[in-house]
Each structure stands twice: as C-alpha cells, then as structure tokens.
Structure 1
Amino acid sequence: MAQASTQRSTAKQRPGAHRPSARGGMACENSERSVTLGSHRDEHNASDLSNDPESAVESAAETPKERPRSPWYCSLPWLVRGDLDGFTAVFSNNLATMLAGAQMLQSILPDELVYGKIVPGVGVSLAFGCAWYTVMALVKAHRTGRTDLCALPFGLNTPGVFAFNTGIIMAVYYAEGGAQNPDAPHVAWQVGVVANFVQGAIEMLLAPVGPYISSAVPMVALLGSLASVGLAWLFANTVEAEAAWPAVTFAPFFLIAAALLGGVKVPGLPSTLLPVVLGAALAWTTGRATASDLREAAELVGWHPGVPDFGPFQHFDKVVDYLGITIPVALTVAIGTIQVRQMAENVGDNYNLRWSMFGDGFGTVIASLFGSPWGMTVFIGHSAFKAMGAKIGYNILCAAGFLIVCSSGLAAMILAIFPSEVLNPIILFVGLCVCIDALEITPSRHWAGLLVALVPGFCNWACEAAASLAAHICEQGFTNGGSAVTGADVKCAVDPHSEAAWALGPELLGLKAMGEGYLLVSIFWGTLLVYAVDRHFRVAMVWSLIAAFCSSFGLIHAPKVFLPWKGPGSDTALHWEFAGGYAVCAILFAFLWMGQMWGLFEAGQDATQASKMMDQSSSEESEDQGRSHMSGNVS
C-alpha cells in the first residue's frame, strides 16, 4: 500500500509531462515533437513489470510518428541547469561512499592498493556506467523524438561496498594471517576483485530473466537482506565512528535529515552541500582535520590512471568460499535495478530493463578488471533528479569528475579536507533510506519478516566489532614473567577472528554462525516467516529444504563453502546442526500443508489482501474506540 501511494504521488509530479521542451542547453531540432508524443507516453506508463517488459514497454508508444531528423547524439540537450543539481547529489553520494569504503580498507591494505588500484578502478567503471545510461537516454530520445527524458543515474552499490569490505576482503585478510603475513593484504584485495567479477557476471546472466526474479523470492526477503546491510553496517557501524566526534558529526546529520526528509532547503544550494560544509568547519575547528593530515595526503597526489590488471584472477578458486556474500549482493542489485527502472517508468521514462541490468553487470565487470572490488549499480532517485530538470548532463559531469578525482590522487586530499566523519552523515542517511524504502514497500502483514531479516546483519556486525576489539587488546601486548611482550612478538592464545575463539561459549558460536553468509540467511529467514504467516506451507517446506541444502555446503552459517563429506569436523562447525534444524522445519511445514489439504487450516492468504484486511480492521477498531471514548465523555 505504501508503495502504491508512493508511486501515485511520484506519478503526479511527472515533470517531463509539464516540460516537453528542453530548458536551455544545446537544444536539437526535434524538440517540438515531445508535446505530441507525450500523450502516447502517458497511455503506457501503467504497464505491468510482471509481464515481459520488453514486449510491453518497447511498444507502439515508443514508436514516433516521424523519425527524428537530428543525429542521435543531439537528441537531448547535453547540459541544462537541472543537471547541476543532479550532479551535486549523485557526485557527493558516490564520493562519500567511495571515501568511506577506502578509509575502512586502509586499516588492512596499503595506500598503493587503495589509491593506486581500487579508487582508479572506481573512476573508470563509474565513467563507463554514466556513459552507458547517457547513450540509452540519447537513443531513446532519438527513436521517440522526446526531449523530456532524464538518464538513469549510476554509481557505487553502497550496501555492497560494505558487504564486500567486511564479508570478503577483511575475512580473507584475517584468514591469510592478517598482519603476520605480508602477502595477506594483496591476497585479500585480489579475492575481492575476483568476487566482484563474479558478481557482475551473475548480474549479466540475470538480465534475460530479470522481470521474473521477484516472483520467486518475496520482495520483503530481498529488501530485508539489503536493509540488514543498511541498518547494521551503513548506520550502526557508522554511528560507532561518528560518536567518537559528536561535536563534529551530530549537527551535520540532523541538518541533512531536515533537508532531505523535512524539505528544509536553502534556495539555490544543493541539499547535501551545507551539511558537508558545516561538518568541515567543525572538523577544522575542533582539530579533527589538521594541516599535517593534508600534507600527508598531498604526497599521494599524482597520475594514477586505471589500468586493467588480470593478476587477481589467479585466486579464482578462493571466491567459491564467499559465494554466500557474492550471490545475495548480485541478487539485490538485480532487484534494485528492476525497482529503479519501474520508478523511472512511473514518471514517463520507461527504459529497457534488460539493457539496464546488463549495463549494471557490465559496469561491475569493468570495475573488477581495473582493480576495484566494489560493484556498480543504477542509483535510486531518478524521479527526484527529473523533477530537478536534469537530463543527461549530470551523468556526463559525474563521469568526468570521478575520472579526474580517482586518477589524480585527489581522493586522499578530499578526505583530508573533509574527513570521513564529515562525509559519514550522507552514509547514515543512505542507510536510513534503504530501511525506509523496505518499510514503504513491505505490507504491514510482513513487517515481522522484515524485522527478522535484519537480525543476521547485526550478528555479523557484532562479531566483527567484538573480534576487532579483541585483536586490538591482543596487539597492545601482555606481560610474560615480568617482561612486556608487544608488537610483532605478540601471539594471542586464540586468534580473535578464528572459529575457535567463538567456541568459548555456545551462545557466542551461535552468534557467529548466524552472521556467516548473513545476506543469504536474511533471505531465507525473511522468506520462511513470510510464507508461514501467509500459510503457504508447501512453499515454505521447499524453502526449508533449500536452506538445509545450503547449510550442508557451508553457503550459510559457515565461513567457507565446502563439500558436505569434506566439511570441517571440529566442535565449532555447526553446518550439520543448521541443516538438521531446517530439515525439521521442512517436516513441520509438510505436516501443516497436509493439515491444510485436510481442511484443518485455512488456505494460504494473499499478502496484499491480508494487509488491506488488517488495516481496515485496525481502522474500524480505532473508530470504535473513538466513538466509545466520545460517548463516555458525553455521559
């Protein structure tokens, strides 16, 4: 219901329908055609995504009465005033994500990898993606004669950046020996790069069947897994760092919330600019940012172009251990692209879904080939950028801006001028928005499934935080017979990042297991609860068997993938226990299904209808209580 109301309110804006001609910029000779074609577009905005999108969307509504005579590359104005607003929003969001991810990895990777490989790779892939969606908009405008199109925005997959950092790169680093092994940083980076390649390949393979993915998995489960990253890693983990500098961080966060959620804006200024400027001023005033940091960052300034690097692919075999992270991230990106494309269609820009999904995957593959372990995706917010009046220029500006920043070493300089605590409020807001989107789309009947899906992400975050604290304590040294042992000579009795450390208490081991492969665990738990609530017991039984199968191979509840007969046999391995637990659930759902067939239980209920009934019942109950209260006052 919330989604429907959101779509209705978005559709009311329809900025393109009220501005058929280009506003400024390099107008082309077909600008007058958009008024005629706008009516054709409106008739097809309600096409259902569940049908084959390419046959429905690329229909007669997209066929112009006369083919535009202008060149395809001149079918839209290249730069209009609204592009500047769109550029500021997309550029600042991507920059905040990139710098936050880079700073997280600087604790385990050297600067030559972070700023010499990863960051330049981001610049190349982002430039490619922006160009991809710019060309898509130009070609569609050329075919239809419309000049009111807004290109889809493109950038880093923020939840995926943090999921790969913590679930793959850091996990490989500690599995390879951490600080005790000088090769661990390079191996961790290389495995992350290859995992990113696999993610992009999966997204490209999903392109032909993209419209049908959401019919196989409940939307609440997919959004819940994404929200688990948003709430645990983007919000809670960022708040942990922000709370160390409250005088610098609190005011910018509430300012950006007031601007983007409350509509408090200064005319002529982008909404994200003032919070960043305020945070920077506070950082330099309080000493969080210093001139010495700026001088150190200046040493990294130089020409660092992104170049293809095939060295990481020697570790292709290690990626299998982390498919529990890679596959869910790829699935959530695919679903996100479907949703963003649908939202764009609601305001009149019905782009080809398969080409959009293919572009996301190809952009991620390019990122991996140029050394970046972070996936790329189409950005949410197209309707807002179109309302600003943006067309294609903001994508062109983002491509040029990121190529310059990422290839010149200026990223480190920007981080010195605007410390991560200054940019983190944007990350906090993104984390909140991911959860808000999930709440708006999820029917009230399925809120329990959404909340349950959040738990595995918090388990993973709690384990990483506890292990990091234990490792820091261990690195401080200890006293052995009166003599202090510190630095490289320190060897913990138990590695804080190993399974043995979590076997010290059964409840700790359970916490660790619930956080392993948490994106897939989130999907399974959210799905099972949704189907249990809706009384679709047969489907729940099938999902329980799939979860048991994944547990037996270590795809979930285990740090690595293995063959069941070659799995770890220690007391710390719980894969058989989890497989047995899901098998018991399958038996339970089988009995419930049989009881349903025998008439002991009601048949399965449609989620949307159930939510409407619950909301109507709640509304009637509130009205009854109100009438009772009023009658009591009268008496």
Structure 2
Amino acid sequence: MQRYLDLDDLLGLPREFFETFRPSNIRAKNYPLWTLKGDTNAFFALFFDNLATQLNLVGIAVSFGFTPGFVYHHFMGGVGASLLFGNLYYSLQASKVAMRTGKMDTCAQPYGINTPGALGKSFNVLLPAFLAALAAECGGSSASSCSAAALERAMFKGWSAACAANFLGGMIEFAGAFLVTLLFKTVPYGAMLVPIGGVGFTWLGYGPIANIFGSHSAHFPIVGMIPFLIIFLSFFASDQVTGPFPSILVAALVGIVLYGVVDLEGYGNNLLDAKEFVGEGGIQFPDLSYGFSQLSNSASLVAAFAFTNFIGTYACNIQARVGGDVFSPMESMMVDGLGSMIGGLLGSPYGTTVYIGHTTYKKFGATRGYSLLNGVVYFVMGMTGLHGMLNAVLPHEIVLGVLVCIGFTIASQCVEVVPRRWIPAVMIGLAIAWSDYMVVNGADNTFGAGNDIAILGASYVWVAMFWTFALMMLIDRWFVSATVIFLIMAALTSCGVMHSAQISFEYVDGHQVGAPPDTTKTWKLIVTYGAAAGVMLVYALLQKCGYAPAAEEEDFRELQAEKYSSKPAHSAGRSALSSKQRVPELAGDSLNLFDMRRDPVI
C-alpha cells in the first residue's frame, strides 16, 4: 500500500489540519508577522503576479463580449474570497511549521490564480459556453446583436458554466492528493509538466509578447516594452537591477510615466471611465446546476487542467522543501482544491493554486505576512470593485511582462527537469500544446492544415502528455512501457478523452461525436495507436531475445521516488514534536513585526 499511497502523509492529515488552527500556532510567539524588506518585496512580487493574471483574464473576458461591469461585479468577488481563504490558510500553515520546527525564517507558500488553467478554461469553457448562450438568447454569436437583457442572460449562463468548471476542477484537485504519489512513481515529471509548459509557452509567453507589440491601450509599444525589459532583467539577470526597490513596482511606475508621456489625455480618460466601476464588486452566486449541464463538451479538458494543477502543487511543495521549509503535500493539494471550490461557489471562474517561487520569496526574507496581506488586499478589491480602477491606473500591457517571464519560466522547467536525452520528446510535447493556441486564434486552413491542427488541439493537454511520455519510453527503449502507453492512448481516444471535446462512446460513421468534424476518423486513430502498440511489443520481444538494443538502465521511477519523497516532511514534524523542541526567543517587540537584525531597513 505504501508503494501507491503516502500513508505517513495521509495518516498525519487530521493532525496537520488541527494544528493549523491551534491558538498557540496562530499567535506564533516570536515568529515575525512581517519583515520589512523580505515581506515587503515578496508582497509586491506576489501582488503584481496575481494582478497581471487577473487584469489579463478580465481583458480576455471583455474581448469575448462580456461587459466590463459584469466581469467586475460577478467574477472578482469570488476571486477575492478564494484568494483570502488560501493565503490565510498558508500563512497559518507557515506559523504551524515555524512553531513545530523552531525555524523563525519559515516562509509561507505563495498562492494565487492558476494562470495556465485559467487561460485554458477561458478559451475552452467560458468562451464556448458564452457563445452557445448568445446563440440561444440572441440567435447569433455576436454580443452586438443582443438586447441588453438578452446579453445579461447570456453572460450569466457563460459565467455559470465557467464557475461550475472551476468547482469541478477543485474537486479533482482535492482527490488528486490521494493519487499524486502513484503518479510520481509511474509517470516522468517532465511529461506531466509539458501541458502546463505548453500553456506557459503560448498563452502566457507568446501571446503577451504579441500584445506588448500591439499596444491596444496606449497604442505605443514603448509603454509595455520598457517595463517588460526591466522585469525580464530582474527575473533572469539580477534581482538587484532596481536597487532596494521591488523591480515589478519600478517597472509599473515607469510604464505609467511612459503612458502619460505618449498619451496623457487618453490615460486621464481611462481613469475617468473607470470611476463608474468602483463599488461594482461583491459576491454573486452562479447557477451551478445550469453550469454543470453545459460541461459535457469540456469535462475532459477541465479534468486535464485540474490534473496538471495538483501535479504542480506537489512539485511546488518539493521546491519549498529544497528551500528548507517542510509542508505536508496532501494538505497543500487539498487546500488548493478547497480554494477553487469556494471560488466556484462564490462566482470565481478561475482556479487557485500554490505558486512556484517559494525559494525566491524565502531568499527575500519573507515569512507569513506577505501571504496574509495579499489575500486581504484582493478580497477588499473584489468586494469594492477596485479592479476597474487598477486596470486604468495600470493598463494591462504594462504588467504583461510579468506573464511573459512566468510563462517562459514554466516552459523552461519542462527541459530543466528531464535528462538531456529526453529533450526531443519534450519539444514535441510542447509543439502539440501549440495546437490549441493556433486553433483558438484561427489557424489557416490552407490545404487542410487547420483540420490537422484541430486533431491535436482537441483535449491537447492529454495528447501532449501521453505523446511525451510515449516518446520518452521510446528513447529509453522501454518497449513494454511504450506498448502500454499506446494502448492507453487508444482507449482514451475511443471514449473521447483524447482528440475530442466530449467524453462519449457515441459514434457517427466511425467518428466520435465530440471529435473535430472533417478530420481523420476516430476509428482510424484508434487503429493507428493499436498498431503502434503492436510494433512496440514486437520490439520488446526482439529485445528479450537479444536482437534489439537493451533498455536504458537509469530508472526514472527510482530517481523521482527519491527526489519527490515526502518523508522529510513527516520526519521533521515527528522530530520536532518528540523532542518538544523549544522555540528560540528573538529580540524585539512582542509581535516581531520588523526583525531588524535579520531583515534590515531598506
């Protein structure tokens, strides 16, 4: 049983949740609530990270035909509530670990909107549901042809479907806590990371770069380009390029100044227009029963993004351990799932997750305050409708550079976590992930190319992951494993999990009902995958007889089992509890708001 499930973590969960809310851990005597330089820098980094994502998502929804007022009034209150829940919990989790281990430099895990998943669901859930509602309410796919009342109903229906998808994704993330140990012992981490890396490459990386050149707000690329260069320098060259000041804050201020120089009147008009949205926040409740009824065409993709989310949470938890802070993996994955479910119930279409970057925030000297303040600020913004004003103060092209850097960081990790020999497989997986971007943005159908891309674009998350996995096994000459993977791909294709937008065994003329029309028949894809499995089996037999090269001796499963083991979390906790380790006293005021010895004034 221990082979397939982390029993130590599972059995320790009740204690973990109980101790998180123990009054002595909440007070966390001598554990700094705020460090001047560390928590300040970490807060601005996390705040602008989330802000860039949220403003981009607002812009995408508006480009679909949603009115800005509807987005601010219906979307952002639920977003704020989910961020408050998660950031509050992770600040308390850090307090618990600090008290347990006596490490007063424990850094809370950063938390926010799951950017790749939110972008993917925007284009594959929110947009199709909204267009379907427009067709039903207005008899067309254009918001301009609708009456105000009909448009309001269509927006409500599309939003409800996206919220239902968010709730469903949260449930899958919660359940993923029980599966992740098995996955990390059977599937290469690089293969699991490829789909989210593909989103990072396209929607987070390439798309925002194009938007910077397009400059749809200021109509002058310099407004987004110079802030992007400053942010890029701070991400990849040196975090000292702006001296003691947070680089993202400096980049934002530079962008505002440049906007004022090139179009002061336009900037002022944006501020005046945004005043009408102030006060448009609050909690709104979606019609989840309707929303769930609309998910038949996107359930596979929702499950896929939830899958990549809990895999990412587990990996971020490992990064935190590398940084010296040991948190329960299952606890973190369950909290992520709960945060998404709470958001879905309260009107957020976007899932939440632990972010990469814990190691960086810990190097800043951050503790728990940055996380708590981030949650409080976004909750207040969501309740009061301040997103519209911030979108005017910081036109989203100014903060697009943050998304670019995050996107390509995620994409580059796909290569960094695999052996050099597997890089070609990863590149092919990332290329498959491009198909979704091309389909959504209207790939040219010359010579049928668009139809070919559509085959890969349908449920591309699963297609990219399984193809990467299969090619990795081919490179290692693990032919039996490759056989099994191709058989799984045939089975998933037959029921619509792969190469289709709808999970179903219904066929018309040999073509699965949810598969893209005018493309290769589904039955032919199934036969092709079956034939590939047969070829791999032949090679396995030849290898067994000594007529094919031997399999790669390095076993990725053993390496991952060691690298991603959660045993340090349990041993650290048991050691601290059994020895009743005394929490060291720190000089300073009773709350240690600013521990100057460890974190000097800027």
- Indicate the TM-score class for this superposition, using the shorter chain for normalisation: 0.7 to 0.9
**C-alpha deviation, 1:303, in angstroms:** 5.2
Residue 607 and residue 111 in structure 1: after superposition, are their counterparts in 2 closer, same or farther (change >3 A)? farther
* Partners of 1:355 and 1:455 in 2: CA distance: 34
Partner of 2:484: 542
Q: Deviations over 1:428-462 (max 9, x none)?
A: 11111111222221211110111011122211111
* Partners of 1:561 and 1:609 in 2: CA distance: 32
Residue type at the aligned position of 2:113: L
* Partners of 1:131 and 1:175 in 2: CA distance: 37
Residue 50 and residue 398 in structure 1: after superposition, are their counterparts in 2 closer, same or farther (change >3 A)? farther
**C-alpha deviation, 1:575, in angstroms:** 2.5
1:527-566 equivalent positions in 2, closer than 5 A: 527-565=469-507
Residue type at the aligned position of 1:252: P
1:154-553 equivalent positions in 2, closer than 5 A: 154-176=111-133, 177=135, 178-179=141-142, 182=151, 183-245=153-215, 246-263=221-238, 264-287=240-263, 289-302=266-279, 304-307=281-284, 309-466=285-442, 505-553=447-495
* Partners of 1:121 and 1:399 in 2: CA distance: 12
Partner of 2:58: 102
Q: Please give the TM-score of this superposition, normalised by the length of structure 2.
A: 0.81
* Partners of 1:508 and 1:573 in 2: CA distance: 12
Residue type at the aligned position of 2:503: V
Residue type at the aligned position of 2:465: I
Residue 564 and residue 538 in structure 1: after superposition, are their counterparts in 2 closer, same or farther (change >3 A)? farther
* Partners of 1:368 and 1:434 in 2: CA distance: 25
* Partners of 2:404 and 2:95 in 1: CA distance: 34
Aligned residue for 1:299, secondary structure, equals helix
Structure 1 unaligned segments of length 5 or more: list them.
1-47, 63-67, 471-501, 613-635
Residue 506 and residue 353 in structure 1: after superposition, are their counterparts in 2 closer, same or farther (change >3 A)? same
Partner of 1:615: none
* Partners of 2:548 and 2:11 in 1: CA distance: 41
**C-alpha deviation, 1:185, in angstroms:** 3.1
* Partners of 2:9 and 2:500 in 1: CA distance: 43
Structure 2 unaligned segments of length 5 or more: list them.
17-21, 136-140, 216-220, 560-602
2:538 equivalent among 591, 602, 605 = 591
**C-alpha deviation, 1:139, in angstroms:** 2.1
Residue 88 and residue 56 in structure 1: after superposition, are their counterparts in 2 closer, same or farther (change >3 A)? same
* Partners of 2:413 and 2:168 in 1: CA distance: 27
Residue 193 and residue 56 in structure 1: after superposition, are their counterparts in 2 closer, same or farther (change >3 A)? closer
C-alpha RMSD over aligned residues:
2.8
Aligned residue for 1:302, secondary structure, equals coil
* Partners of 2:126 and 2:347 in 1: CA distance: 13
Q: Contact (CA 8 Å) 2:163, 2:286: kept in 1 or not? A: no
**C-alpha deviation, 1:519, in angstroms:** 1.0
* Partners of 1:507 and 1:589 in 2: CA distance: 29
Aligned residue for 2:179, secondary structure, equals helix
* Partners of 1:383 and 1:537 in 2: CA distance: 38
**C-alpha deviation, 1:310, in angstroms:** 4.7
Residue 331 and residue 370 in structure 1: after superposition, are their counterparts in 2 closer, same or farther (change >3 A)? same
* Partners of 1:57 and 1:193 in 2: CA distance: 32
Q: Deviations over 1:63-118 (max 9, x none)?
A: xxxxx995642342222212111111111100110110111111222234311121
Residue type at the aligned position of 2:282: P
**C-alpha deviation, 1:146, in angstroms:** 3.4
Q: Contact (CA 8 Å) 1:226, 1:434: kept in 2 or not? A: yes
1:80 aligned onto 2:35: yes
Partner of 1:92: 48
2:76 equivalent among 119, 143, 159 = 119
Q: Please give the TM-score of this superposition, normalised by the length of structure 1.
A: 0.77
Q: Between the two proteins, what is the percent identity of the paired residues?
A: 27
Residue 556 and residue 70 in structure 1: after superposition, are their counterparts in 2 closer, same or farther (change >3 A)? closer
**C-alpha deviation, 1:55, in angstroms:** 5.6
Residue type at the aligned position of 1:234: L
1:151 equivalent among 97, 100, 108 = 108
Larger deviation: 102-111 or 124-133? 102-111
**C-alpha deviation, 1:271, in angstroms:** 1.9
1:130 aligned onto 2:105: no
Q: Contact (CA 8 Å) 1:459, 1:512: kept in 2 or not? A: yes
Aligned residue for 1:225, secondary structure, equals helix
Q: Contact (CA 8 Å) 2:34, 2:369: kept in 1 or not? A: yes
**C-alpha deviation, 1:505, in angstroms:** 4.3
